[in-house]
Amino acid sequence: MTVDSARRDLWVFAYGSLMWNPGFAFDEARMAMLRGYHRRLCIWSTAYRGTPEQPGLVLGLDRGGETTGVAYRAAGHRRRQMLAYLFERELDDGVYEPRLLPVHTETGDLKALAFIADPDQPLYAGELTFHETVAAVARGRGRRGTARDYLAGVIDHLASFGIEEPHLRGILKAAESLHE
């Protein structure tokens, strides 16, 4: 996909912070389901929520399962500006791969740009055990705060969209216990 690919509307699938803080102007928002990928703490954070010596974890879209999120539509005249913003925000460390993927909404299926965790990148955490995930969340602290605070915020924001993630709640509870 190229940034200059016409002035057609563009949909973007948001599964994490883009849901509550898109950072771009949009013309429509719909709850959406992406099949084939799930929301997971699978990205090492070595600056914002951790350090290179003690990385924290942040969300990524990883292969398998399905994810409920928000599809945002940017009208054609907003497309270039939105893409420039998203590419700077999501692709600066190379851990995400942009893909146009089918998503399902109540009013029909559409293709949306999604940022998928790239398993070939060094910041991809891979298949961590529950205990490894908890330890990384418990110890992660970076320029923007702790990985625990990040995860608590994610859980609260997802709940405001009606999305419950019991697995993430379990990780947070265990990380808080370990931290104490």
Q: Read off the pLDDT of residues 114-170 as tens digits, 9 standing for 90 and up.
A: 999 999 999 999 889 999 999 999 999 999 899 999 999 999 999 999 999 999 999
- Residue 163: exposed, middle, or buried by beta-carbon count in 10 A (0-12, 13-18, 19+)? middle
Domain spans of the chain, in order of start: 10-179
List C-alpha distances in Å: 72 to 1, 35, 77, 82, 101. Answer: 18, 17, 14, 11, 14
pLDDT for the residue 2: 46
pTM for this model (two decimals): 0.88
pLDDT for the residue 130: 97
- CATH architecture assignment, domain 10-179: Roll (3.10)
Question: Strand 56-74 relative to strand 28-45: parallel, antiparallel, unpaired?
Answer: antiparallel
pLDDT for the residue 155: 95
- Active-site residue identified among 90, 106, 127, 132: 90
Residue 6 has pLDDT above 60, yes or no: no
- Sequence length of the chain is 180
Q: 31 by DSSP, 3-state: which?
A: strand
- Count the neighbouring beta carbons within 10 Å of the beta carbon of residue 17: 16
Known catalytic membership, residue 90: yes
